[in-house]
Amino acid sequence: MFTPQQPARIGLCPGAEYGPAKRWPIEYFRALMDQLLPYPILWILIGTKAEQELAPPLVEDFAGRLDNNIGKTSLQELIELMKSFHLLLTNDTGSMHLAALYNIPTIALFGSTDPQRTGPQGALHRVIKHPVECSPCFLRVCPIDFRCMRKITPQEVAQALLEKLEIINFSSSLQ
């Protein structure tokens, strides 16, 4: 059972090395984090040095628990850190594939790419994607209005995250 003393350790990867077309809007990540403030969650931010500019909007004036590791870990340190996660929330990234490799439940947000080709496989993971006429486009930068990612709402992701945490909590109580 997650408690303030033993919060859910949720990895959050707001970046995507391939380009901004694969990134859920940073303000949506922050809205999600703010929406889930009543829950015992420790957000653990991960990403590369090139993605460090994504951290300030998530960190500044955040009233919850947060550990910013964006740009601060080697690959081996990232793997060890990820092994402590109860769940990873991510765009279509290398971190998503690492989580799948280590059986870390993942909520993966997809827009410009195809989860059938590059998504995490298995029942542990959940992909959130909305069909739009221009996706998958596989572009690095959206030339129009970024509708594929903007259709994914913070409320929808919060619901998926809470459902996944409930399953994790239930499974751990059986052990």
154: which 2 tokens? 């913070």
- Residues 112, 137: contact at Cβ < 8 Å? yes
How many C-alpha atoms does 37 have within 13 Å on its Cβ side? 9
Residue 152 reports pLDDT greater than 80: yes
Task: Tell me the per-residue pLDDT of 73-114, one tens digit each, with 9 for 90 and over.
Answer: 999 999 999 999 999 999 999 999 999 999 999 999 999 999
Residue 153: Cβ within 10 Å count = 14
pLDDT at 122 over 90: no
pLDDT bin (cut points 50, 70, 90) of residue 147 is very high
Give the whole-angstrom CA distance, residue 83 versus residue 86. Answer: 8
d(CA 11, CA 108): 12
What are φ and ψ of residue 126, in 5° steps? Answer: -135, 130
Per-residue pLDDT tens digits for 17-54: 888 889 999 999 999 999 999 999 999 999 999 999 99
Residue 174: pLDDT band by 50, 70, 90 thresholds? low
Which DSSP symbol is given to 17?
A: T
DSSP state of 130: -
Determine the straight-line distance between the first and last CA of the chain, rounded to whole angstroms.
12
What is the torsional sign of CA 2, 27, 60, 62?
A: negative
Mean pLDDT computed over every residue of the chain: 93
Report the DSSP pairing between strands 41-45 and 8-13: parallel
Domains for the chain: give ranges and CATH numbers.
8-174 (3.40.50.2000)
pLDDT exceeds cutoff 90 at 62: yes
Q: Which of 51-60, 89-98, 130-139, 166-175 has the lowest mean pLDDT?
A: 166-175
